[in-house]
Amino acid sequence: MITLDLIEKNQLGKIVAIDTDLLPLKLIEMGCLPGNEVYLEQLAPLKDPMYLVIDGCHLAIRTEIAKNIKIELI
């Protein structure tokens, strides 16, 4: 199990746990929930922000937010 900021390009993972207190509700509403798949599409220079596909939803978040999401690689 790793945190989401460590995922590498073109890797697929599955969200295991999220820290609700530190995540914006909007992210949760966009599908960032345990059990959903996450895929790293692209990284901006300096690896920040991250362009992810979470449960079919294309979005970008900053690395510091991604640290609060635990995933399992598949």
Partner 1 sequence: MSKTINVALIGNPNTGKTSVFNALTGLNQKVGNYPGITVEKKQGSCRLNQTTKAHIIDLPGTYSLNASSMDESVVIELLLNRNDKDYPDVAVVISDIENLKRNLLLFTQIKDLKIPTLLVINMSDRMVDKGISLNVNKLEQKLKTKIALTSTRENKGIEFLKTCLLDFRSLSKVGCLDITKIDEAYFGNLQKVFPDQSLYKLWLVISQDVNFAKIERKKVQDATEYKTQPISHLKRLQQKETIKRYQYINQSLKETYSVDQSKATDYRSKLDRILIHRLWGYIIFFLILLTIFQVIFGWSSIPMDFIDERFTKLSEYTKINLPPGLFTNLLAEGIISGLGGIVIFIPQIAFLFLFIAVLEETGYMSRVVFLMDRGLRKYGLSGKSVIPLISGTACAIPAVMATRNIENWKERLITILVTPFTTCSARLPVYLILISLVIPEGKFLGMGYQGLTLMGLYLLGFAMALLSAGILNKMLKIQSKTYFVIEMPNYKLPLLKNILITVFEKTKSFVVEAGRIILAISILLWLMASFGPGKEFNQAEEIIMSRSKVKSFTAEQLENEIASHKLEHSFIGILGKTIEPAIAPLGFDWKIGIALISSFAAREVFVGTLATIYSVGNDQEETIKNRMKAERKSDGSLLFDLPTGISLMLFYAFALQCMSTLAIVKKETNGWKWPMIQLLSMTLIAYLSALIVYQILV
Residues of this chain that bind partner 1 (CB under 8 A): 20-21, 24-31, 33, 41-42, 44-46, 48-49, 51, 55-62, 64-65
Q: Work out how close the CB of 57 gets to partner 1 at its nearest, in angstroms, rounded to a whole number.
A: 5
Closer CB to partner 1, residue 37 or residue 51? 51
The residue type of 45 is P
Closer CB to partner 1, residue 56 or residue 74? 56
Buried b (16+ CB within 10 A) or exposed e, 1-39: eeebbebeeeeebebeebeeeebeeebeeebbeeeeebb
